[in-house]
Structure 1
C-alpha cells in the first residue's frame, strides 16, 4: 500500500496518468453548492455532466481554487443496466477533482445516447490529509480489495478503478468500515464471464478524526425488480463528507449506475439489472459518511 500527504506547491502540479482515454469534453453543466455548518471548513459540492452520446466516456468534477478533494461520486444517465461505471477515482493535479468513467457492456452493447455526471466534495485543507492506495494482483477471477487508512486516521473519500475489465466487470461493493478505518472494494465479472485478466486499484482519502464522524447506512428493497435505489441520510445537524455503497445479491448481473451525494445530507445508490434480467432477489445499499 502507498500513502502520501497532500502538500500544496506554488505553481502548477502535474496530473497523474489514469490509464484512460482522454477526457471527453463537449458540453458542461456545472453546479456548486456550499453548505453551512460543515465539520470541514469550506465544504463544497461540485457537479459536472458531460456529453450525451453512444461512446464510452470519462467525466471529471473539479474542486474550486484553494480547496482539496475529500470525496466524490458519480452516475450514468440514460443507459439503465447497459453501461458499467468502472472507474470512480480521486484525481490530484493542477486542480483536484473526481473522475468517473462509464463503458458499455459486451455485445450487444447499447445503441442509445448516455452521459456521465461526476460529483466532487471539496474543502479547505483538512488536518492530516493523506491519500492511501493499493491494488490486487491481475487475474481473471472476481476479487476484493481492502484499502486501509494510516493508523489513527479516518477515511472520507473512496475511489476505485477496474483496470482491464473493458465493461465486462461490474463494481459490486464500495463499503467503508463502521469505524471508517478502511474500505472494502469488490468487483465481479458479469453474467457471461470474462476470460482476460484484470485488477482493482483502490484509493482512500484519510484525515485526522473529525468530531462526530460516523457512517450511516440506507438499504433498498430486497426483491427482483429490475431498477431500484437506496438513500442514506445524515442525522440532524450533520452533513455528507463521504460516500459508499454496495449491491446485495447481484451476482454480477446488476450494474451500479449511481453512487453519489445528491444533497448536503443524503447519499443515493442506484442500480439496474443487465439487459437479460436477473431472477434472484437483490438490494442496493447506500452509505453516507457524516460529520
Structure 2
C-alpha cells in the first residue's frame, strides 16, 4: 500500500486502555512447546465474545505472570461490513484487545469477535512504544521503529474517529523487524470527520532465529479470501501482522490471528458493494 505518511509523530511507552471488555467470553489457553532460542513459556490464549449486532471489544487476557507479545483476531458473521478498527495490546501488557464496528450501512444479523493473544514471561528488553498520526480526513500511514538494539515481536493499531468508515489496510511488521507500519484508508463512502492512527510496536532484545515469514495470497477479484503464513520447522509464532494489497478501502481485513502454534492466518472480504479490481491479503508470522 503506497500511502504518504501524514503529520508529525509522537512516540510514547504508554497509551490509554481501549474499549470495553466483552462479557461472557469463551476462553482457551494452549501452551506452545518452544524450541531452543524461542521465548520460554509461550502460550496462545483464545477468547470469543458475545454474538450480537452492537459494536464490541473482546480481550484475550494473558495468564498471571506473563505478558502479551503479540496478538490479533477475527470477525465471525457480517464479515464484509464490520471493520476491526482496534487491534492492540492493553497498556499494562495484560491482554490483546480487538474492537469491531459496523460500517455506515450497518448489519442486520449478529456477529462476534474472537481475539488471540500470544503471552510469555517477559523477555529481555521488552518495551512497547507508541506513535500517533495527525488527526484529519486524509488516508494516512504511521511507521514506528523499535529502540536501538531491539526487534519487533508484536504489532498494534487503532483508528480513532473512523467509526466503521476507515479500514486498517496495513498492520505490518516490516521486513527487518526493526519497525512496524499501520495504514488507514477511508472506505468507498469516505469519512468527512477527522480521524487518526495509533501505532504500537512490542519490542525486545531479539531471541535467537527471529524472522518474519510472509504468506503469499492470490491477487484476483474473488470477494472473500484467506492466506496462511507458516513458520519454518522448529520455530513457533511469537507475533503477527497482515496487510491488504490493492483493496482501495473497499476490502476489509476480517481476520489476522495465530491459527496454531506455527501458523498465522489473514482474511479479507469486499464490502457489500463489491470491488471490481484485483486484491490480495498477506499475513506475516514473526517466528523464533
The TM-score by the shorter chain falls in which range?
A: over 0.9
Q: 2:102 aligns with which of 101, 104, 109?
A: 104
Alignment partner of 1:77 is 2:76: yes
Q: Which residue of 1 aligns with 2:22?
A: 24
1:28 and 1:125 map into 2 onto residues whose CA distance is 25
Is the contact between residue 240 and residue 264 of structure 1 (CA under 8 Å) also seen in structure 2? Answer: yes
Change (3 A) 1:243 1:212: same
What's the CA shift for 1:139?
A: 0.6
SS in 1 for 2:53: coil
What's the CA shift for 1:174?
A: 1.2
Change (3 A) 1:276 1:60: same
Number of residues paired by the alignment? 277
Q: Which residue of 2 aligns with 1:174?
A: 171
2:200 and 2:138 map into 1 onto residues whose CA distance is 21
What's the CA shift for 1:24?
A: 2.8
2:82 and 2:101 map into 1 onto residues whose CA distance is 5
Change (3 A) 1:4 1:17: closer
Q: Deviations over 1:54-102 (max 9, x none)?
A: 0000000000000011111011111120100000010133x70000000
Q: Where does 1:109-128 land on structure 2 (aligned, <5 Å)? A: 109-128=106-125
What's the CA shift for 1:3?
A: 4.4
What's the CA shift for 1:178?
A: 1.2
Query: Tell me, which stretches of 5 or more residues in structure 1 are unaligned?
Result: 6-14
Q: Which residue of 2 aligns with 1:2?
A: 11
Q: Which residue of 1 aligns with 2:58?
A: 59
Q: Which residue of 2 aligns with 1:186?
A: 183
Q: 1:261 aligns with which of 258, 263, 274?
A: 258
2:189 and 2:34 map into 1 onto residues whose CA distance is 48
Q: What RMSD, in angstroms, separates the aligned Cα atoms of the two structures?
A: 1.3
TM-score (normalised: structure 2):
0.94
Query: Once structures 1 and 2 are overlaid, which stretch shifts more, 270-279 or 30-39?
Result: 30-39
Is the contact between residue 3 and residue 130 of structure 1 (CA under 8 Å) also seen in structure 2? Answer: no
1:288 and 1:23 map into 2 onto residues whose CA distance is 26
What's the CA shift for 1:104?
A: 0.2
Alignment partner of 1:196 is 2:196: no
Q: Deviations over 1:145-180 (max 9, x none)?
A: 001100110011110110000000000011211110
Query: Tell me, which stretches of 5 or more residues in structure 2 are unaligned?
Result: 1-9
What's the CA shift for 1:17?
A: 3.3
Q: Which residue of 2 aligns with 1:8?
A: none
Q: Which residue of 2 aligns with 1:45?
A: 44
TM-score (normalised: structure 1):
0.93
2:254 and 2:17 map into 1 onto residues whose CA distance is 25
